[in-house]
Structure 1
Amino acid sequence: MIRRSIDTLIIASQRLQLGRRFHPVVKVTAGHTARLKAEPANARDPNALLVVTHSESPDGEQCLGYLPATVAAAFAPHLALGAISVLLTVVEPPKTPKASLPLKVQVRVCTKDPAEGTAAAEAVDAARVAADTHASLAQQRSGSGTGEMLRSNFVVVADLVLGQDGHLLSEDEKATTALFKELDAPAQCLFLRLFQRRRDWFRMAALSYTEAPDVDAAVASLVAAGFARTSDAISPEERKAVVETLTVPELLGLLSTLGLSPKGRASFGILRSKLLETLLEALDAQPVHSCQTKGQRVWDEVQQVTGRCCALAPAAAQWAGRLQRLFFLNEGQDLSRFLVADLGIMRYPSYTVRCSRPVWADRCSLLTYEAALSHAEALDAALESGDHAAAAVALQPAWEALEANLHKAPLSPAQPGGPHVGSAAAAQQQQQQAGCPFLLRFTAAWVYVAMATAGVSLFEKQKRYEEACDTIRKLLGGVCCPNRRGEWWVRLSVNSEHLGCSEMALEVAEAALADEHVRGGDRLALQRRALRLGKPPRRWKQPPWASQVPADPREVCIEGRPIASKIGTKSMFWSADGEAVKVEELALQYYASEDGGGWQGVHSEGGVWATLWGLLMWNALFADVADSLRTPFQTSPLDLSTPSFYKARKELIEERLVEIRGGDVAALVRESWEAHHGVMCVGVNWERHSLEELVVIADCIGAHAVASICRLLAEDHAGWSGGMPDLLLWHPEQRRAKASEVKGPRDRLSEQQRAWATALSAGGMDVEVLKVLEPSNKPNSWRGQRRRRA
C-alpha cells in the first residue's frame, strides 16, 4: 500500500469570494473551517465542488455555497485522485444574508513518501498540480479572470494590429500603445472596463472592480499618462455631462436644496428630462453678485452629490476604438467577444484566419471610412427620431460623394484626404479591390451609397420623385452595393410611373432585366411590371421570357374572427378553443386539423431553411479562402453576401450539392449537427429545433428540394435570405413537406415571396397561400371557421 505525505504549502493565504445566492441562510463566524464536497452527478457542472462546514460543528454539516467554476474545474480532478488537500477558513462573516463569503484557501500537494521511492513522473505530476491550482486561484483573484482576460486580450489585439495594420496608425497612436503597456495592471483594467461601458463620465465612488481595488490610484495613473481626466478642472460646457449622471431622486433633492422647481408638468416618462432641463438652466445662470455666480453654486451642489468623476480622454478612447475596429472589422463586435469565447458562453467556428492584404491601403482611406460611419450614425439617429431636417443635414456628405463620383471610383482624388489617382497607395488598393471586391464594403463610398439609398426613401415619402429618380440613376452608375441594384431598378421604374412617365417606367424595367445583378424577387417584380406596362399599343409583341413568368401559387381560404387591435400592431384572431392567437398560429391549427390535412408544422419563415443550409454547407462557409475569414470571431465569411462567395468555392459547393442530391440528406444533417453542435454559425439556431425534428423535416422535404434551396442561397445569399414562406409543414408518415405563406384579410404577396414560391415548386415542394378572411354568415366547416379553395 502506498503511503502519502503532505508536501509544501502551495497557496498559504489566498482569498476567494464564495457566492451564496442559493445558500443565504447559513450563519458563520470568522475562523469557521469548511471542506469541499464533490458533486460528480451535478447536471449543470460535473466538476461542481460544494463548500460545507465540518460535521463536528455544533449545527452539523451545513452548505455554504459552491466554489467558483474556474477554480472547481482545476481542483476537481486532483481532488478525485487524492493529489491535493484543501482547507477553507472563513475570513469574516458576510455583511448581508446574500453577500459573498470571503474564504482563505490553503492547498497542499500530496506526493508519495520518499521512503517508498518517489518516481520522476510523480514529481512532474506534483509540479503540474501545483501550477494548475496556482493558476486557477490567480485567475480568480483577478476578478474571476474577467478583468485580467480583458487586459491580456486587448494587448493581443494591439500587437496584432501593429503587426498587420501598423501603417494605418499614426506615430502618436503607436506611442500610446507602448505607453498603455507600461501602465500597471489595475490602471489598464480600469481603462478597458470604462471603455466597454461607452459612457462619458463615471462617478469614482460608484466604480468597483476586483482587478482595480484602489480606484483613486488607478485613475491617477490613467490621468498622469493622458488616458483619463477628472471633474476637478473641467470646462463649464463639460459640466453638463456630469450633471446627466444624476438620478431622478438626486435631481429632485438638488432642486429642492436650490429652491428651484421644474417648469410645467411632466409625466413620469419625461420627468427626468424636465428636471435636467431646469438644473442645466440654473447651471448656466448669470452672476448674482461679484464674488460668486449662481451657476457656480449649482455646480458645487452637484459635486457634493456626485463626488469626483472621471472620464476617458477623447484621444485615448478614439485610439482604443480604432484598434478594435481594425481587428474586428465589425462595428457590432468588441473586446467582449474574447470574454464570451474564453468563458465558453459563445463558441466560434474553427477555421484558418488568412489575411493576404490589408483592408485599407493607407491611413487616409481609413479616416474617410470612419468619417462616413459617423455620418451614417447621425443619419440613423435622425431617421429613427423622425427628424427630417437633421436627416437632410446628415445626408449632405453622401450627396457630395455622389457628385464627386466617389461611388464609381472609390479612390477618386475628389475624396477628402484620399490618395491621388496614380499614387502608389491608390494603385495598391485598386489592385486589392480587384482581387477581393467584397472589401469594397470597407470604403467610404460604400457607406455613402447606403446612406443615399436611405435618402431615396426619404424623397419618396416626401413625394419628391424627380430627386429620387436622379439619385437612383447616379447610384446605378457606380460599382458599390451591387446587391441593391435590383431594388434601385424597381424603385426607378415605380417613381417614373409616379411622375406620369409610363413609357420611361417600361424602358427602365426592360433595361433592368439585362443587369446580371437583378435576381430573385426583384427580377420577378420587373418582369411583371414590364408585362403590365408593355400592353398594346406600347408593345405589340410579348418578350421571349413572358411564358416563364410564374403564376401566383394556389390559394386556400379560411375564415377567422379578428380581434380589434391598435393600428400598427400585429393582427390577432380568436382560435377554435377561444384563445387569442396570431394569424400564423391560426393557420397552423387549421393545417393540424382533419380538414387541413393533419400536418405538423412550424412558423419559421427562413429559420428552418437557414439552419439546414448552414449545417449542410458548413465546410463551404468556413473554407480557406483568402481574406474572407480575417478574425477568430466570425460566424460567416466576409464575402457571403456577394457573388464572390460562390465563385471562390464553386468546386466545393458543387461537390456538396451532388452529395446532398444523391445521398441521404437526413444523415448529412445529423452528421453536421453532431460535429458542430453549439458552435455559432450564420442562420443556424441550435435551440429552436431538435436534431430529431430537423432530421424528419429534411427527410420529408427531400434531397432534390433541399439541394435546390442550398444552391440558391449559395449563389445569391443576400437576395434569397428574405421572403421565405411563413409556415413549413411536414407529414412524416407520407414523407411529404409543404410550404405555406399566410396572409391576413388585407395582405398580399410580395415579389420575393412569389419568387420563393416558384423556387420551391421547381424543387418539387407543394406551395400554397393561406388567406384568412373575415367571417361570413354562412355555416362554418372548420371549427367555427369556413374554408374554401380558389
Structure 2
Amino acid sequence: MANPLDDPLYYLHNFRQVLLWLGQRYADLLDPDEQHFIQHFDSLPQASQALLVRMVMRKGMHFRASKLNYVEVGCTHAATAPLVQLGWVDEHSPLTFETLFALLQKGEVLAVFKPWIEQPKANKADWLEALAAQFTELRSFTQWCPQTTDTLYSLTVMDLCDRLRLMFFGNLHQDWSEFVLADLGIYTYEKVEFCAESRGLRSRDDVHGYLFLHGCQQAFEAGLALDEVLAHIATLHTDNPWLEKRRAKLLFQIGQYCERSAELDLAEQIYRQCAYPGARSRLIRVLERREDYAQAMALACTAQQAPESAAEQQHLLRVLPRLRRKLGEPALPKTKPRPVTRLDLALAPPDELMSVEYCVQAHLSEPDAPVHYVENGLINSLFGLLCWEAIFAPLPGSFFHPFQRGPADLHSEDFHQRRAALFAACFEQLRDERYKATIRQRYADKWGIQSPFVFWNLLSDELLEQALACLPAEHLRYWFERLLLDIRANRAGMPDLIQFWPAEKTYRMIEVKGPGDRLQDNQLRWLEFCGEYQMPVTVCYVRWAEPA
C-alpha cells in the first residue's frame, strides 16, 4: 500500500479535504470572508495553493522568502503573486521592533542596529530590551532593513484559517498535524457515521462564543488584570450548554488562581457563580480559610444532602468534623474506614531508573502467580473493549470529524443516559460467557484504534487472557458501573499492580506506596469501593533496607 506522504502535495490534499468538508457540512455557518476564501482557493494555481497551505501550517504569520524553499512549489515569488493580489499575503505589513527582532539572525541585527548596540559580543537576547525602548514605531520589513534583498510575506488570513480549523475540529487544540499522524499510521481513528446533526458548532454564535472564551483564556494566561478578564467573561450570552461548561471551567481555573494568590474575596465571588464540578467544595474551603465558619458549615450541610460526586462526599467527611469543632458543636461519632489488607516490604534500594512499583512487581511475581503493572489501564481497557459500540455510537453531537479519540460528550452528565440501552446490552453479556468472546474479538478487530479507555501499549495476549480467566464477571460489572457514574473522576486512582493465580482463577490488586508516600483521595475512594464489594486489594508499603 502506497504511503500518502510519498506525494509531495499530501498536505494540500488534506487542506482541500477540510474545505470540501466545511462546504458540505458548515455552509450555513460560513461568513462572507470564509465563503470567499473557499471559493477562490480552488481557482489559484496549484503552486500558490501549496505555498499558502505551507505557511498556514507553520508557526507564526511572518515568513521570509529565503526560508520558503519547497521543491513542489517552485519559485516562491511567482507562487506568492496571486496571494498578494487577493490580499491573503502582505509584502509591506507594519512590524513592531520585537517582531522584527525575532525574524532576524544575530548578525543581521548587528548589521542594522550596530550604532545602538553597546555590547556587540553579548547574546542576541541581551540586546532586545535596550533596542526596543529606542525603536517604538511600526515599519515594514524593507523599511527596517533597507539593505536586505530578502522579502517578508505576512499572512493576513491566519485568523480566518484558524476559524475554519475550529469549525472542522470543534476545538483549537487540534491542528493540521492530525492528518499527517493519521497518514503515517501513528494514530488510527474509529470510522463513525456522521449524521446531519453531527456538528461541533451549531451556529455562527457558537463560533463567536468559542473564540470569545478562547480570547478570555489567553488574556488570563497573559496576566491581564483579573477584574477585566472576569468582566469580559460576564458579557458572553449563549444558549449553548457546551459553551457554558467552557465558561464555567475557565471561571474555576481563575478561582483556583485566586486561592493560590490568597485573593480569597475574589475567589469566593467566582466560586459562587461557577457551576463547574468541584466549585462548591472550593467555596467551602475558601469560606473556612476566611474563618467564616458558619457560612462554610451551612453550605457543607446543604452539599451533604445531595453530594455532586464521590469526591465531594469524601471532602465533606473531612471538613464537617473540623467545622463543628471550630463552631463549638459536639463531635459526631466517627465512621471507621473499612480495614484494608496491608503488606510491608523491606526491599534493596533499586537502580535510579526503576520505580518502586516495578520493584514490588519483580519481588512478588512468580511463574504461577504473575504480577502486572496496570494501574488504571486494565479495567479501563476491558470496559472500553466490551462497550466499544456504545462508546462510539454515532449520536448527534458526539462525533463531527474523522479525528476523534472518543465522543465529544464523554464527560457530559447525560453521557450514560443517552446510551443507556446500549450499555445495558453490553453489561447483559456479563451474565454469561459472551463478554469474553466480545472482548477478545474487539481486541483483535480494533487493535491500535484510538479510544478514551483502551491502553493498547499496556495490553497483551497474556494479560488479556489472564484477566478474563481470573476476574469475576460480577466484579467487572461493579467496576464498569462505577466508571459510568463519573468517568472523569473514576477512571483514575485504581491500584498499581494486579496479581493473578490462573490455576485457582483468583486475583488481588496491590496499591504500592514508597517511603514517605501516602494514599491520595481518589485512591482511597477506590479502596473503599473495593472493600464494599469484597474485592481482594492490598496496600503495600515499601521501605528501603539498609545495605548489609
1:300 maps to 146
1:583 aligns with 2:356: yes
**Per the alignment, in what secondary structure is the counterpart of residue 718 of structure 1?**
helix
2:177 matches 1:336: yes
In the alignment, what sits opposite 1:749? Answer: 519
Q: In the alignment, what sits opposite 1:151?
A: 12
CA contact (8 A) 2:216 2:232 kept: no
1:527 match:
317
In the alignment, does 2:389 pair up with 1:557?
A: no
Offset, 1:618:
0.7
Q: Give the match's secondary structure for 1:632.
A: coil
Runs of 4+ residues deviating >6 angstroms: 295-298
TM-aligned CA deviation for residue 156 of structure 1: 3.4
2:489 matches 1:489: no
Q: Determine the structure 2 residue equivalent to 1:600.
A: 371
- CA 362–690 in structure 1, closer or farther in 2 if over 3 Å, else same: closer
Q: Specify the SS of the correspondent of 1:197.
A: coil
Shift of residue 197, structure 1, vs aligned partner: 0.9
Q: Using the alignment, how far apart are the partners of 2:127 and 2:119 within structure 1?
A: 8
Give the structure 1 partner of residue 126 of structure 2: 274
How far does residue 297 in structure 1 lie from its aligned partner after superposition?
A: 8.9
Letter in 1 for 2:246: V
Q: Output the CA distance in 1 between the equivalents of 2:453 and 2:202.
A: 32
SS in 2 for 1:739: strand
The answer to whether the aligner puts 1:447 opposite 2:290 as a matched pair is: no
Counterpart position of 1:738: 508
Alignment check: 8 A CA contact 2:167 2:201 kept: no
Q: 1:317 is aligned with what amino acid?
A: M
Query: What SS does the corresponding residue of 1:679 show, helix, strand or coil?
Result: coil
Cα distance, 1:763 vs. partner?
4.6
State the match for 2:89 in structure 1. Answer: 228
Q: Which amino acid aligns with 1:274?
A: D
Q: For 2:230, which of 390, 395, 398 is the aligned residue?
A: 398
Shift of the 744–377 alpha-carbon distance from structure 1 to 2, 3 Å rule, reads farther
Is the counterpart of residue 368 in structure 1 residue 209 in structure 2? yes
Q: Work out whether residues 642 and 718 of structure 1, in 8 Å CA contact, stay in contact via their aligned partners in 2.
A: no
Kindly tell me: are residues 466 and 243 of structure 1, through their superposed partners in 2, closer, same or farther at Cα, counting changes over 3 Å? closer
Count of residue pairs brought into register by the alignment? 546
Change (3 A) 1:612 1:736: same
Q: Does residue 760 in structure 1 map to residue 530 in structure 2?
A: yes
* Residue 163 (structure 1) shift: 3.9
Q: Which has the larger radius of gyration?
A: 1
Query: Which structure shows the bigger proportion of residues in strand conformation?
Result: 1
Q: Structure 1 residue 686: deviation in Å? A: 2.1
CA distance in 1, matches of 2:382, 2:405: 15
Q: 1:219 aligns with which of 54, 67, 80?
A: 80
- CA distance 1:663–1:513, shift in 2 (3 Å): farther
Counterpart of 2:512 in 1: which secondary structure? strand
Name the residue aligned to 2:270.
471
Do 1:643 and 1:715's aligned partners in 2 also have CA atoms closer than 8 Å? no
Per the TM alignment, residue 699 of structure 1 is displaced from its structure 2 partner at its CA by 2.7
Q: What is the aligned partner in structure 2 of residue 167 from structure 1?
A: 28
Is residue 376–residue 451 contact of structure 1 (8 Å, CA) maintained in 2?
A: yes
Q: Deviations over 1:518-563 (max 9, x none)?
A: 2223322223433554579635766xxx86x7436333333467xx
**Match among 95, 102, 105 for residue 244 of structure 1:** 102
- Distance change in 2, residues 1:146/1:692 (3 Å): farther
Q: Paired residue for 2:40?
A: 179
- Residue 459 (structure 1) aligned to one of 247, 254, 258: 258
SS at match of 2:416: helix
Q: Distance in 2 between matches of 1:357 and 1:579?
A: 50
1:495 Cα offset (Å): 2.2
| Rounded Cα–Cα distance in structure 2 between residues aligned with 1:475 and 1:522 | 15
**Is the CA contact (8 Å cut-off) linking 1:355 and 1:630 kept in structure 2?**
no
Q: Could you tell me how far 1:507 is from its partner in structure 2?
A: 2.8
Q: Distance in 2 between matches of 1:754 and 1:771?
A: 15
Shift of the 773–345 alpha-carbon distance from structure 1 to 2, 3 Å rule, reads closer
Instruction: Label 1:582 to 1:261 Cα distance change in 2 as closer, same or farther (>3 A).
Output: farther
Asked if structure 2 preserves the Cα contact closer than 8 Å seen for 1:187 and 1:221, the reply is: yes
**Alpha-carbon distance, 1:649 to partner:** 0.9
Name 2:64's counterpart in structure 1: 203
- Compared CA separation, residues 580 and 640, structure 1 to 2 (3 A): closer
Q: Please say if residues 186 and 211 of structure 1, whose CA atoms lie closer than 8 Å, have aligned partners that are also in contact.
A: yes
2:161 is aligned, of 307, 311, 320, to: 320
TM-score by length of 1: 0.62
Partner of residue 258, structure 1? 114
Structure 2 stretches lacking a partner, 5+ long: none
- The separation in 1 between residues aligned to 2:143 and 2:414, in whole angstroms, is 64
Report if aligned partners of 1:262, 1:274 keep a CA contact under 8 Å in 2. Answer: no
Within the candidate set 458, 466, 472, 1:688 is matched to 458
Structure 2 distance, partners of 1:537, 1:278, is: 61
Structure 1 unaligned runs (5+)?
A: 1-46, 48-68, 71-138, 287-292, 383-389, 412-429, 434-439, 562-573, 785-790
Report if aligned partners of 1:200, 1:241 keep a CA contact under 8 Å in 2: no
Cα RMSD, aligned residues only: 3.5
Name the SS of the counterpart of 2:71 in structure 1: coil
Find the counterpart in structure 2 of residue 81 from structure 1.
none
Distance 1:337 1:749 in 2: 38
SS at match of 1:475: coil
CA distance in 2, matches of 1:379, 1:733: 58
Matched, 1:508 2:277: no
Q: CA separation in 2, counterparts of 1:221 and 1:539?
A: 81
